[in-house]
Structures are given as C-alpha cells and as structure tokens.
C-alpha cells in the first residue's frame, strides 16, 4: 500500500517529476523548453507542469522507438508477456497513488478499483497467442503459412476522461504485439499516463518501447499521424478531431482505429424493472460527470411508463452529491472551462428549444465549489428526437427523456443519431430483448445494463460516426499486427 496524497498538498510522488516527458527511456523537457500548466478542475489550482512537446519531440520519440524496435520485436512473445504481467503487478502495488493522480487530474471522486491491472493481464495473456495459419499448396515441395508481425513504430492519441485505461488500451496492446509506440495524452489529464509509463520502465520494458510526448493536440498530436515513421495509429476522442487524424493517416497511407463519441440510448419498455433501470441510468449519466463516451444520455421510454420513469430518474439524480474529488461525493466537476461552457450551452439550448427542465440546469454554489467547473445533474423531459440536446454529444451530466408510442418508434428514435457506440434495452421480455439487440445500431448493446456489456474481454468500439476498429477484445493484440504470407519451396530430393 502506498501513501495517500494530501488533497490540499503539492503533488508529491516518485511516479512523477516536474516538466518531463518520456523519450527513449529518458525523462526530458520539450525541445522548445516550453511548458503547459496542468490544473485541478475542482479549484483551478496548479497541479503540475508538463512539457509542451511539438513535432520536434515527436520526431525524437519516433527515432527512439525505431531504435528500440528490432530488439523488442524479436524478443520472444512470452518474454514480452512477462514484462506486461510485471507492469500489472507494479500498477496494482501503486493503485492508490495512481487512482489519486487520475482523480485529481480529471476531478473525479474515487470510482472503485482501477481496471488497469486487469486490462494489462488480459492483454499480456494474448501476447504469445497471436497465430498465423498453414495454407494448402499446389505442390508437396512447397509449404505455405502466414505469420503475424507488428507494424513497427505506431502512434496513439488519447483523451482526458479516463486517461489511465485509455493509455493502457493503446500502449499495452500495441507493444504486446511487438510494436514500439509514441503516445500523446490529453494536455488536460496527462499525469496518470506519465506515471503508468514510469511503472512500465520500472517493470523492465526497455527504453524506447513506450514513448510519451505531452503537449497540445494541434502540435504534438498532429505530428504523430503525419510522421513518416509511424505505421499505424489509434485515436480516441471527438469525431471532429478523429476526422483530422484520419486525413493525416490517409496522406501518410497508414491504417488507424477511431474510438469516437456517443449519444447512447437507454430504451425503456413498459415491462421494464423501473426500480432497477432508473438508478442505473442516473448513475450512468453522472459517473465521471457524464464525461464518458459510453454514457447513456437519451432515455427513450414508452409513453405508458413515461411519467413514472421521469419521477424515478429525478429522484435518483437528486441523490447524486457533487463536490471536489477528495470528498465523499458521487460527482466531481467538468474537466475545464471550455467543457463547462459547452455543457452550459447545451443546457440553455434545451431550455430555449422547448424541452421541460425537471432537475438541475445550473451550477452549484457554496464555498466547496469555489472556482471549480461544477454543474448540477440535469434532467430534461419531453425532448424531441431532433432537438440539439437529443442529437449532439454533450459530454456532461445531462439526461434527455424522449417518450415514444411503440417499439418501431423506439428503434427509429434510438438509431436516429449519427453515433452508434452503446445502446441499452430495459425489458423483462426475452423476445423484446432479442429484437432490440438486433435492431439497435451500436457496437455494444446492454440488456438491463446501463453502460454496455459488463463482460470481460468484450470488444469495444463504435458503429457509424462513433468510429471503427475494436479494442480490448480477444483480438486486441492481433489488431496491432499485419499478415505476411510465406511460401517456401524446399530443395528437391537429391537424384530427382
Ligand atoms: P478531442 O478534443 O478530440 O481530443 C482527443 C485527443 O486528441 C487529445 O489528446 C487532443 O489533444 C488531441 N487532439 C486535438 N486536436 C488534434 C489534432 N489536430 N491532431 C491530433 N490530435 C489532436 O476530444 P476531447 O474533448 O479531449 O475528449 C472528448 C471526446 O472523446 C468525446 O467526444 C468522447 O466521446 C470521446 N471519447 C471516446 C471514447 C471511446 O472509446 N469511444 C472514450 C473516451 C472519449 P489536447 O486535448 O491535449 O489538445
Ligand atoms: Mg481536449
């Protein structure tokens, strides 16, 4: 067990140093010497400074990753897995500090045990199970088979909302396959990724295999997919930025996966267990202050239970306590001023657009909230499917209730957005569950489950504008490999 960080004190942990990023195993400032301030979103106090990395730093990181590549790629896969298992153990040993770093950086109250050690072990288990196949041949003196090989140096760009798991997803899976990586965390929440990278080094993962360049998206971020040394990219973030990253990958002729946003429906049928559905839906939209790509932000509810559902949702959301991360509360602030303005803008759009404000809609006041980017859990009723708040991702604790008259309309409304990340169905009827599971356009469908599957190793990713490619499934590591077909003609037998 590690020490608890005093919430009011300066950040002080051996896992972090001031103003450094990781390039080729060295902890270095930006080439430019410039820095970015990382603040605590609950009070705007300075938490740390990070390097303002740019294309020069990305270039240095790609070169370091190129240098590390041959030995890492050729290390046997079981040895790579062992290093990932050791990394998982160190993450577990430092769980408390990592949790506090991420909480402080994102502004989130403790949300239970970290998924990171389990993710690392799940991925490590795949490292030495990446197989090719044998192929039939035209002639007995030829053998044919495929091997799966890493792409080489790969890149990733991640958002701020769950920086530890996002970092793990991209880094662990790509390096397990034998790639080396350059990753840029979001400038709003880079601390847990830097600490995880330190633990990767401590675990014995060689210098240059994992490189972390911190900085702004338009500078360090943009330099990754456009660097000629990068052979594949993983991006998690907004559709607008995803599209920019994909353009850069297109120019560079490299593949990528995109994990983008969501506007996930919670479809509630008349036979649903409303006493289970309402608190789960309320928890789903307020967890991490609604800043979860998978958050169920639209309740598409049958008119016969509409009124009761709204009452139950209001009751459940009313109970959600708000405050700074170190207090015993359910919900912290939003990540930054821009996000706060954005969420408040959507709340105004809901009001002026004619939706009925049932709960929240404002900012909590009082000393505890100080300068923080807080907003109250907000519930809108009688939202029309074409309203802005029903169509666009708010990324805040704002829930829209849309009443419908039948299953057909429920499907049309649920699918009537650009996104397709997660969808949930609430029903006790297996027939409804089966039909809806097939009809909903989403990468994950949860039946009587608010945040998607809740299974181990479920592939995660989007339909439609929510992106493409899947992470965390049984193919997580294989997805970071390319296929080579080998045909081998043997010498004919002497004398023939
Ligand atoms: P964002 O603005 O798209 O940022 C994501 C990352 O991209 C950040 O590291 C950002 O850097 C970087 N970036 C910005 N401009 C860039 C550019 N021109 N080139 C390369 N990189 C660039 O998204 P966000 O507002 O931080 O995060 C919220 C979004 O992420 C939401 O839409 C949410 O749904 C989505 N998300 C999706 C998933 C999923 O798995 N599907 C998971 C979590 C979040 P800086 O911010 O540091 O400038
Ligand atoms: Mg951002």
The CATH number linked to 187 is: 3.40.605.10
Q: Which residues line ligand 1 (CB under 6 A)?
A: 157-161, 184, 186-188, 216-218, 221-222, 236-238, 241, 244-245, 259-262, 293, 393, 395, 421, 462
Instruction: Please confirm, yes or no, whether 293 is among the known catalytic residues.
Output: yes
Tell whether 462 is covered by a domain. no
Identify each DSSP E strand in 249-361 by its residue range. Answer: 256-259, 264-268, 296-302, 356-359
User: Both 221 and 89 in a single domain?
Assistant: yes
| Catalytic site residue from 259, 341, 348, 428 | 259
Tell whether 464 is covered by a domain. no
Q: Which residue has the higher pLDDT, 1 or 366?
A: 366
pTM above 0.85, yes or no: yes
Q: What is the CATH number of the domain that holds 336?
A: 3.40.309.10
> What's the CA gap between 210 and 202, in Å, rounded?
12
Tell whether 492 is covered by a domain. no
Distance 336 CA to ligand 2 centre (A): 9
Confidence of residue 348 (pLDDT cuts 50, 70, 90): very high
Confidence of residue 146 (pLDDT cuts 50, 70, 90): very high
Total residues found in the chain within this entry: 496
Residue 468 CA from chain centroid, whole number: 13
What is the maximum span of the chain, computed from C-alpha positions, in angstroms? 94
Residue 13 CA from chain centroid, whole number: 25
User: Both 247 and 332 in a single domain?
Assistant: no
Q: What percent of the chain has pLDDT over 90?
A: 90
Token representation of residue 246: 């994909």
Of all ligands present, the nearest one to the C-alpha of 158 is: 1
**R_g over Cα of the chain:** 24
Q: Which residue has the higher pLDDT, 351 or 455?
A: 351
Tell whether 496 is covered by a domain. no
> Which residue, 489, 480, 281, is CA-closest to 397?
281
pLDDT digits (tens, 9 = 90+) for 108-136: 998 888 999 999 999 999 999 999 999 99
Residue 1 confidence (pLDDT) above 60: no
User: Both 362 and 397 in a single domain?
Assistant: yes
For residue 339, the ligand 1 atom closest to its alpha carbon is 25
Residue 16 confidence (pLDDT) above 50: yes
Tell whether 218 is covered by a domain. yes
Token representation of residue 104: 């402080």
Residue 3 confidence (pLDDT) above 90: no
Contact indicator for 24, 211 with CB cutoff of 8 Å: yes
User: Both 62 and 144 in a single domain?
Assistant: yes
Looking only at the bridges linking them, the beta strands covering 134-135 and 142-150 are antiparallel
Residue 325 confidence (pLDDT) above 90: no
Distance 186 CA to ligand 1 centre (A): 7
In sign, the C-alpha dihedral spanning 104, 163, 196, 222 is: negative
pLDDT at 2: 36
> What's the CA gap between 144 and 323, in Å, rounded?
62
Instruction: Please confirm, yes or no, whether 259 is among the known catalytic residues.
Output: yes
Average pLDDT along the chain: 95
Distance 148 CA to ligand 2 centre (A): 34
pLDDT at 452: 61
User: Both 251 and 338 in a single domain?
Assistant: no
Of all ligands present, the nearest one to the C-alpha of 186 is: 1
> What's the CA gap between 353 and 137, in Å, rounded?
66
Of all ligands present, the nearest one to the C-alpha of 393 is: 1
Please work out, in degrees rounded to the nearest 5, the angle formed at the alpha carbon of residue 468 by the alpha carbons of 256 and 134.
70
> What's the CA gap between 40 and 104, in Å, rounded?
6
Q: Report the nearest-CA residue for atom 39 of ligand 1.
A: 259
Lowest mean pLDDT among 148-152, 176-180, 314-318, 491-495: 491-495
User: Both 327 and 248 in a single domain?
Assistant: no
Confidence of residue 338 (pLDDT cuts 50, 70, 90): very high
Pocket test for ligand 1, best of 159, 162, 341 (most atoms within 8 A of CB): 159
Tell me the CA distances in angstroms from 440 to 44, 322, 325, 407, 465, one per residue in order.
Answer: 41, 33, 35, 11, 14
> Which residue, 55, 432, 342, 39, is CA-closest to 213?
55
Residue 299 confidence (pLDDT) above 90: yes
pLDDT digits (tens, 9 = 90+) for 177-203: 999 999 999 999 999 999 999 999 999
Give the number of other Cβ atoms within 10 Å of residue 388's Cβ: 15
pLDDT digits (tens, 9 = 90+) for 401-446: 999 999 999 999 999 999 999 999 999 999 999 999 999 999 999 9
Tell whether 1 is covered by a domain. no
Distance 189 CA to ligand 2 centre (A): 9
Please work out, in degrees rounded to the nearest 5, the angle formed at the alpha carbon of residue 173 by the alpha carbons of 253 and 200.
115
Residue 492 confidence (pLDDT) above 90: no
Tell whether 357 is covered by a domain. yes
pLDDT at 454: 72
pLDDT at 10: 61
User: Both 324 and 246 in a single domain?
Assistant: no
Alpha helix ranges (H) inside 75-215: 77-93, 95-106, 116-127, 163-176, 191-202
Count: domains in the chain: 2
For residue 240, the ligand 1 atom closest to its alpha carbon is 3
User: Both 400 and 477 in a single domain?
Assistant: no
pLDDT at 9: 61
Question: Hey, is 46 helix, strand or coil?
Answer: strand
Tell whether 491 is covered by a domain. no
User: Both 56 and 192 in a single domain?
Assistant: yes
User: Both 226 and 290 in a single domain?
Assistant: no
The parent domain of residue 278 ranges over: 265-456
Tell me the CA distances in angstroms from 120 to 74, 103, 382, 452, one per residue in order.
Answer: 21, 20, 43, 21
- The CA dihedral of 436, 442, 448, 452, to the nearest 10 degrees, is 160
Please state the rounded mean pLDDT for residues 334-360. Answer: 97
Identify each DSSP E strand in 344-457 by its residue range. Answer: 356-359, 378-381, 398-404, 422-426, 444-447
pLDDT at 247: 98
> What's the CA gap between 76 and 104, in Å, rounded?
38
pLDDT at 459: 94
User: Both 141 and 281 in a single domain?
Assistant: no
Question: Hey, is 425 helix, strand or coil?
Answer: strand
Distance 237 CA to ligand 1 centre (A): 3
> Which residue, 336, 239, 358, is CA-closest to 291?
336
Looking only at the bridges linking them, the beta strands covering 422-426 and 444-447 are parallel
Distance 265 CA to ligand 1 centre (A): 22
Please work out, in degrees rounded to the nearest 5, the angle formed at the alpha carbon of residue 219 by the alpha carbons of 248 and 216.
120
User: Both 202 and 92 in a single domain?
Assistant: yes
Burial class (CB in 10 A: 0-12, 13-18, 19+), 395: buried
Residue 5 confidence (pLDDT) above 70: no
| Catalytic site residue from 219, 249, 293, 393 | 293
Residue 7 confidence (pLDDT) above 80: no
Pocket test for ligand 1, best of 182, 213, 237, 239 (most atoms within 8 A of CB): 237
């Amino acid at each position: 067990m590690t020490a608890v960080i005093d919430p009011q004190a300066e950040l002080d942990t051996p896992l972090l140093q001031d103003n450094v990023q990781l390039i080729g195993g060295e902890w270095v400032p930006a080439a430019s010497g410039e820095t970015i301030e990382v603040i605590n979103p609950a009070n705007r106090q300075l938490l740390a400074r990070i390097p303002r990395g740019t294309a020069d730093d990305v270039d240095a990181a790609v070169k370091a990753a190129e240098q590390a590549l041959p030995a890492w790629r050729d290390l046997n896969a079981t040895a790579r897995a062992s290093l990932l298992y050791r990394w998982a153990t160190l993450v577990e040993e430092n769980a408390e500090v990592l949790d506090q770093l991420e909480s402080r950086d994102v502004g989130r109250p403790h949300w239970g045990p970290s998924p990171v050690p389990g993710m690392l072990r799940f991925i490590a288990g795949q490292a030495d199970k990446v197989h090719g196949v044998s192929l039939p041949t035209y002639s007995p003196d030829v053998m044919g088979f495929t091997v799966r090989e890493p792409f080489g140096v790969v890149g990733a760009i991640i958002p701020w909302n769950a920086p530890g798991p996002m970092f793990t997803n991209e880094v662990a899976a790509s390096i397990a396959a034998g790639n080396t990586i350059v990753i840029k965390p979001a400038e709003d929440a880079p601390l847990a990724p830097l600490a995880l990278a330190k633990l990767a080094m401590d675990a014995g993962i060689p210098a240059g295999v994992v490189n972390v360049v911190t900085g702004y998206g338009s500078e360090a971020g943009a330099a990754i997919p456009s660097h000629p040394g990068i052979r594949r990219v993983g991006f998690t973030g907004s559709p607008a930025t995803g599209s920019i990253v994909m353009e850069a990958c297109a120019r560079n002729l490299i593949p990528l996966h995109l994990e983008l946003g969501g506007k996930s429906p919670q479809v509630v049928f008349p036979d649903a267990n409303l006493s289970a559905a309402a608190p789960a839906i309320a928890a789903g939209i307020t967890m991490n202050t609604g800043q979860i790509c998978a958050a169920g932000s639209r309740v598409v509810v049958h008119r016969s239970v509409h009124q009761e559902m709204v009452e139950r949702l209001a009751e459940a959301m009313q109970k959600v306590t708000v405050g700074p991360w170190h207090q015993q509360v359910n919900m912290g602030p939003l990540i930054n001023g821009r996000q706060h303005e954005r969420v408040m803008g959507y709340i105004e759009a809901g009001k002026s657009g004619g939706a009925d404000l049932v709960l929240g809609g404002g900012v909590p006041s009082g000393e505890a909230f100080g300068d923080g980017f807080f907003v109250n859990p907000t519930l809108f009723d009688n939202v029309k499917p074409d309203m802005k708040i029903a169509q666009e991702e708010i990324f805040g604790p704002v829930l829209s209730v849309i009443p419908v008259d039948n299953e057909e309309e429920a499907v049309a409304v649920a699918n009537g957005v650009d996104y397709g990340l997660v969808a949930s169905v609430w029903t006790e009827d297996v027939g409804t569950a089966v039909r809806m599971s097939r009809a909903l356009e989403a990468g994950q469908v949860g039946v009587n489950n608010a945040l998607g599957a809740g299974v181990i190793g479920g592939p995660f990713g989007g339909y439609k504008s929510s992106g493409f490619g899947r992470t965390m499934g049984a193919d997580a590591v294989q997805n970071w490999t390319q296929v080579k077909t080998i045909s081998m003609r043997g010498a004919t037998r002497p004398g023939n």
